[in-house]
Structure formats: structure tokens, C-alpha cells
Amino acid sequence: MKILVPVKRVIDYNIKVCIKKDGSDVDLNNTKMSINPFDEIAIEEAMRLKEAGIATEVIAMSCGTLASTDVLRTALALGADRSILVELEHNPEPLAVAKLIKVVCDKEQATLIICGKQAIDDDSNQTGQMVAALLGWSQATFASEVKIDGDSALVTREVDGGLETLKVLLPAVITTDLRLNEPRYATLPNIMKAKRKPLDTFSAADLGVDVSPRLTLLKVLEPTKRTAGVMLENVDALIGKLKTEAKVI
């Protein structure tokens, strides 16, 4: 079994995001970037399946600028066997990424795709579902436990009412939740080995995929800052506030 794991380069989750003064986009100058945390969980799950003898090869891929090479090297240091970069001039939209993943999956003849449920920069939560639709594969999202049983997978997923267990036939697309596992740390020897592992680069034209933007970003704004609370003397004062300021009654 080959497992394909898409990974994305995002602003590190410990960094406070800054917006450009003109509100055109997020400011990435001198900003620390890292692998998307949900994708790191996907790499860890793929490695556990390989270590259990279920998978034979783990392939990491990323779609983006040449700078995305660093997250692929991270994936290789975490244990992936090889990696693929689809080099683009800009960050693609979820549908474009899904199309690129489909083409790479067909090319590599992968049986299972494990990806993060969402990227922490745009929180779209669309790519995994789109890939499954394009491939016509089974899908299980928000996985908190994965067990491979022959030609099927038992996936426990988190829903509003608790936990739900699905049995999906392979090939399949699985998206990971935070509670699926605890990713390992990349050791120094593995970081050095990652530099010698294969990293193939393609363009969208090489794969025959149109990645032209279909959306236009109009403006980026910071969330509205919360105002300080006030102490009210009685219930009548509270009702007055709710009527005049909050206008909820």
C-alpha cells in the first residue's frame, strides 16, 4: 500500500498574524513558517501504518512556491520515503490543490490519502472532501482513530454528539483531527538523512492542471476587539443595556 500525504506551508501556530497596512493580505515578511499541524498528524499516522507493516511507502507532496521545499524536508525528516513538490507562483485555492493531488495520486497509484482536516491559515476544510469527490473514493473526515482491516478502514471520527465509527472501503481519503495521535520529533540524524531523500519537482503545466484563481481577495481585517465589561447595579440596568446597546430585546 502506498500512502500519499499532502502537506502545506503555513504561518507557525505560535506566531501572531499581522495584516498589511493596506489590508490587502497577511504580512509574511520575516514571519516564521512551518508545516501545517494537522498535516504533521497525517504524516505521523502514515508512518505508524508503515511501521505496522500495513503500508510499503509514504509519499509527501506539497503545492506552492519553491519555499514549500522546507515543509517537505520536514515530512522527510519525520519518516516519509520521498516527496513531490508541485511548484506554483502563488498559493493555490482548495479546488486547484485537490485537482493536483488527484493527478499525483493517479500517477503514483496510491491506495490511501491521509491529509489534515484543514489548514490553519484559511481554515477552508475543503481539500480532502474535494479530492475524494474527484477520485470517486470513500472518505472519512475528522478522524480520531484509524484501523486498517484488509480492504477497508475503520475510522472513528468526532461529531457534535460524540464519536462515530465508519467502515470505508479502500482506496479512501482520510482527514485527521487533533486527537488522532501525537506527532514525533524529527531527530538530528533523520534531519540529515532527509537532505538525501528524493524530492521531485513538477509544475502544474507538467501535470495538465489549470490552477488559475477563481476567487478574488477583497480585504483582510483583524477581528473586532472586545470592549471591557461593566458592572451593573441591578436587573433593571441590565435589561436597559440589552434594549438600548445590545438591542437583543
More confident residue, 236 or 58: 58
pTM for the model: 0.84
d(CA 240, CA 164): 45
246: pLDDT strictly greater than 80: no
pLDDT of residue 30: 82
173 C-beta neighbours (distance < 10 Å), count:
27
CB 138 within 8 A of CB 169: yes
d(CA 25, CA 17): 11
pLDDT of residue 233: 86
Confidence grade of residue 227 (pLDDT, cut at 50, 70, 90) = confident
Indicate the helix (H) or strand (E) that contains 151. none
Coil/strand/helix, residue 46: helix
Coil/strand/helix, residue 215: coil
Percent of the chain residues topping a pLDDT of 70? 100
Query: Which residue is listed with cell 490519502?
Result: 113
Domains of the chain are 2-246 (3.40.50.620)
pLDDT digit string, tens, across residues 87-130? 998 888 899 999 999 999 999 999 999 999 999 888 889 999 99
pLDDT of residue 122: 85
CB 172 within 8 A of CB 140: yes
d(CA 100, CA 104): 6
pLDDT digit string, tens, across residues 41-64? 999 999 999 999 999 999 999 999
pLDDT of residue 243: 86
pLDDT of residue 58: 96
User: In whole numbers, what is the pLDDT of the chain averaged over residues?
Assistant: 91
Backbone angles phi, psi at 14, to 5 degrees: -85, -5
Buried b (16+ CB within 10 A) or exposed e, 184-221: eebeeeeeeebeebebeebebeebebebeeeeeeeeee
